Structure 1
Amino acid sequence: MPTPLAPVGAARRLALGILCFVLFVALWGAATWSGLVKPLFLASPDTTFTEGVELFMRFGFAWDIAVTMFRVFGGFLLAALLAVPLGILMGTFKGIEAFFEPFVSFCRYLPASAFIPLLILWAGVGETQKLLVIFIGSVFQLVIMVAVITGSIRTELVEAARTLGARTRGVVVRVMIPNAAPQIFESLRLVLGWAWTYVIVAELIGSSAGIGHMIIDAQRFLDTGQMIFGIFTIGTIGLITDQLFKRLNRALFPWSLGR
């Protein structure tokens, strides 16, 4: 039996990750090539790949990807610019937390998709509406996560800083933020994944471009190959950004590697 929490080497980790994808494609191919699942309901791996090539060659799918990425990262950046400072303040100062926490917790349970009719009324069906859907779906979750992370810093560190003469500003800037930064960055990585779910919802209504728009068009023609390829494209972009976030976290905060 493997030892709990035992580290796995980089080469072995990569091999195991690739093996998981290989097994997934093998099971998918076995279900479709054998005729167990009809092509109407699930396209085979080779058909999906062929449809994907056609999307890029004939239908300008690269532009759809670029549009969707702009919406995701734009809405996510707006949410992060508000949520991270507010979350740090809430986690640091209990009075600010007492003021904002009930309202933020209330808003956190409001589904972003329910705002779409109102946002269309307020902002139309352009890019602003789609950015706001992602913003609403991300900002309140991120505020709570950052506040919890910041507020969980060991009180001994704060007391030691005060003993050494640090004032409130110094405690926040030189103790609390550096200590919480790696976990805040990890929270950003997690919330970015949620932002991808909101952008597809936003693109289902009143959109003329984007991955979600392409998936809806493919659904009208019962083209499961294109639909699956669009879904896998989102997963691929998400995997790449996820790995970039991990590497950037290690590069920016080397003091957290020993945790």
Structure 2
Amino acid sequence: MTPLKPIRHSTRIALGTLFFILFFSSWGAVTVGGLVPATFLADPLQMLAGGWSLLADHGFLKDIGATVWRVLAGFALAAAVAVPLGIAMGAYKPVEAFLEPFISFARYLPASAFIPLLILWTGIGETQKILVIFLGSVFNIVLMVAVAVAETRRDLVEAAYTLGAKDGAILARVLIPCNAPQIAETLRLVLGWAWTYVIVAELIGASSGIGYMITNSQALLATDQIIFGITIIGFIGLVSDYFFKQFNRKVFRWSLSK
């Protein structure tokens, strides 16, 4: 293996598939072999059976839909607020000086700590869960976008000024297009974090969602259903990440080096 040397797409798929084969084989060997009691860790077949029961008998598809909706709503709201703020912070130093101390402070606040306040302010409905995702995502997006814009190559900006561009054109024709691929990649990364926040939000005061199912299954010691819920989250995340990557590749082809 050579550092940073690209590999073929087929090789990448084969290696990724091999990992999952080894992972599930090891899991099966540990559980089916009796090294770990089923009460603490169900085997893969038990997990699939428990998942089928959830889907066929307990309406788990509705829980999945509720969770996906909350993630998309909270994340879209965070992106709509954070991306313009991040661009403004990265482009204009007075805006950065005004907002950066608060953003740096706020991004270290755990979103889960706001749940009691959000329940007090908005109740236990959808608004509370969407706001948990919003608070967990928005400050990180702002700072990451600001850093990307602030690191724009100076020669591009100076070349635009030399050609007669005004300040507004520098923002619209240089800073935003130059950093659009990095902004899109930032959104892809933070979308993964949003799934962490939604499960936390659904563990408290929820009547639907994957987190709600996991809580109920924990009370029943149904580890097969708990693992199935966690697996579904990972699967949805894998699929959404794949499509996000493909979208970025098609829209920002000039930025791809591999």
Task: Indicate whether the TM-score tops 0.5.
Answer: yes
Give, in angstroms, the shift of residue 169 of structure 1.
1.1
Q: Which residue of 2 aligns with 1:122?
A: 121
What code does the residue aligned with 1:132 have?
Answer: L
Per-residue deviation, residues 70-102 of structure 1 (Å, max 9, x unmatched): 000100000000000000000000110000000
Distance in 2 between residues matched to 1:257 and 1:42, nearest whole Å: 42
Q: Which residue of 2 aligns with 1:190?
A: 189
Distance in 1 between residues matched to 2:226 and 2:139, nearest whole Å: 31
Give, in angstroms, the shift of residue 258 of structure 1.
3.0
Give, in angstroms, the shift of residue 131 of structure 1.
0.4
Distance in 2 between residues matched to 1:61 and 1:11, nearest whole Å: 34
Distance in 1 between residues matched to 2:240 and 2:178, nearest whole Å: 24
Per-residue deviation, residues 146-203 of structure 1 (Å, max 9, x unmatched): 0000111111110000000011111111111111000110000110000000000100
Q: Matched residue pairs, number? A: 258
Q: Which moved more, 1:78-87 or 1:165-174?
A: 165-174
Give, in angstroms, the shift of residue 257 of structure 1.
1.4
Per-residue deviation, residues 237-258 of structure 1 (Å, max 9, x unmatched): 0000101110000111111113
TM superposition outliers: structure 1 runs of 4+ over 4 Å = none
> Aligned runs of 1:1-259 on 2, under 5 Å?
2-258=1-257
Note the aligned Cα RMSD (angstroms): 0.7
Per-residue deviation, residues 187-245 of structure 1 (Å, max 9, x unmatched): 00110000000000100111000000000010010000000000000000000010111
2:11 partner SS: helix
| TM-score for the superposition, normalised by structure 1 | 0.99
| TM-score for the superposition, normalised by structure 2 | 0.99
Unpaired segments ≥5 residues, structure 1 = none
Distance in 1 between residues matched to 2:251 and 2:81, nearest whole Å: 21
Per-residue deviation, residues 4-28 of structure 1 (Å, max 9, x unmatched): 1111101110010000000000000
Distance in 2 between residues matched to 1:142 and 1:95, nearest whole Å: 19
Report sequence identity in percent. Answer: 60
Unpaired segments ≥5 residues, structure 2 = none
